[in-house]
Structure formats: C-alpha cells, structure tokens
C-alpha cells in the first residue's frame, strides 16, 4: 500500500495552514499598531514663551492741571483767624481778595497752573504765593504791611467773592468774602475811610445803604475787580 501521497498531501495542507496563520497574525498585529497610533495624543508642540506686549511709549501729554476746568472757589480764614481769604479760579486765571474786616485788604489776580499760584495786586499792595489741588490751597498772602499763612478749602456757592456794583460805587464801594459757614468779611470805603462793610443778602445780592438798596455782584476772573 502506498502511503506517501496522503502524507505529502497532509504536509502540504499543514504548510498552507501555517502560512495562513502567519498572515492572519501579521494582519492582526498591523491593525493593532494602526489603532494604537490613531489613539495616541499628537506630539506636544514645542513650548514657546508668551510674547511680551510691546511697552507703551512714554506719554507726551502735559501733567494734569488740578482745578483748571470750569470755575473753582476757595475760601477760609488765614492761620490764626486774623483775616479771611477768597480765591476764584477759572481755566488758569485767578482773582483773590484778602481782608481783615477792618482796614487791611487787597485784591489780587494772576495765574494758577500745574499746582502753583502766583497772584499780585495792581497797585503792588499785596501778593499771594501758594500751591493748590482741586480740594485746597496753601501758601502765604500779603496785604499792605501784613502777611499771613493760610490753608483754605474749595467751597460751594454762595461762598465766594462779592463786590458792590461798579456803577453804584459812589454809594457803596465795598468788597466781601463769604465763608463756608455764611460769615461775611469785608470792608467798604466811605468818604475816603475804610471800615467794616455792611452785611448783604446773598439770595437777592443786595445791600441797603442809607435806605437805598444797592446791588452786589459775584466776582470772578472774567468780571475783574
């Protein structure tokens, strides 16, 4: 009996099965590698340091000018209370009045800018040198032979500076400072003599002199003194 042929056939079958098994394993491994590659996270990008924002060029704008917009009024007593002072500033122009309520007085005007104030009287009878913010002013003021230091605050109307109407100064030539507490300090010139100014009504802005009602005007850099 010849058994070679079946043995050859069996061997060939086993060889084919081995090849198929190897191919199946190879395909399975390749699929596993592809799946792993697909699920792996992408490679991290190289870390880069955040770029710093460009530095801002230095500002060429001028420093802020305190109390230069609109009208600001300062008023109060000088140090020690011997006199009172009022200052009205509007866009860098200022007018001031200092008075002891009896005889010493002086009207001043000038410039206020960059926190510095320098005011002088037209007749060289007084001067004011000060520093200021929007809230207060501090410095030295002179009227005649008297000099005072002061620190006064920004105030609201009716505090401020007032003077008798120019067309009526033959009846009443007077000036006032109205302080935050409502007190009025001023002098009038009558027959060439200075004396305390009479009180006036801050609501109607009038004073009565010898039975005659006289108009009183608020004073500012625009109106002068």
Per-residue pLDDT at 30: 52
Cα distance between residue 77 and residue 103, in whole Å = 16
CB atoms within 10 A of CB 220: 18
Cβ-Cβ contacts under 8 Å for 194 (sequence gap 6 or more): 102, 103, 105, 187, 188
Cα distance between residue 89 and residue 135, in whole Å = 13
Per-residue pLDDT at 189: 83
Per-residue pLDDT at 173: 87
Per-residue pLDDT at 57: 45
Does this model's pTM top 0.85? My answer is no
- Residues (pLDDT < 50) of the chain are 1, 3-17, 19-28, 31, 36-38, 43-50, 53-54, 56-67
What's the Cα-to-Cα distance from 79 to each of 17, 113, 135, 195, rounded to whole Å?
Answer: 117, 24, 17, 23
Which pair of structure tokens corresponds to residue 172? Answer: 């009443």
Per-residue pLDDT at 168: 74
Cα distance between residue 48 and residue 57, in whole Å = 26
């Amino acid at each position: 009996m010849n058994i070679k042929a079946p043995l050859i056939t069996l061997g060939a079958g086993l060889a084919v099965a081995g090849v198929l098994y190897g191919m199946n394993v190879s395909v399975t491994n390749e699929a596993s590698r592809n799946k792993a590659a697909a699920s792996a996270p992408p490679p991290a990008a190289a870390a880069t340091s955040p770029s710093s924002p460009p530095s801002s060029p230095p500002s060429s704008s001028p420093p802020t000018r305190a109390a230069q917009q609109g009208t600001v009024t300062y008023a109060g007593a000088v140090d020690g209370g011997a006199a009172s002072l009022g200052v009205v500033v509007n866009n860098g122009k200022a007018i001031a009045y200092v008075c002891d309520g009896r005889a010493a007085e002086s009207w001043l005007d000038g410039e206020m800018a960059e926190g510095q104030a320098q005011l002088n009287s037209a007749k060289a009878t007084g001067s004011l040198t000060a520093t200021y913010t929007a809230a207060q002013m501090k410095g030295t003021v002179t009227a005649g032979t008297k000099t005072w230091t002061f620190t006064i605050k920004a105030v609201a109307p009716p505090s401020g500076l007032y003077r008798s109407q120019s067309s009526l100064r033959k009846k009443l030539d007077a000036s006032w400072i109205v302080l935050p507490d409502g007190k009025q300090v001023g002098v009038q010139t009558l027959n060439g003599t200075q004396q305390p100014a009479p009180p006036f009504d801050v609501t109607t802005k009038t004073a009565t002199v010898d039975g005659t009602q006289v108009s009183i005007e608020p004073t500012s850099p625009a109106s002068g003194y």
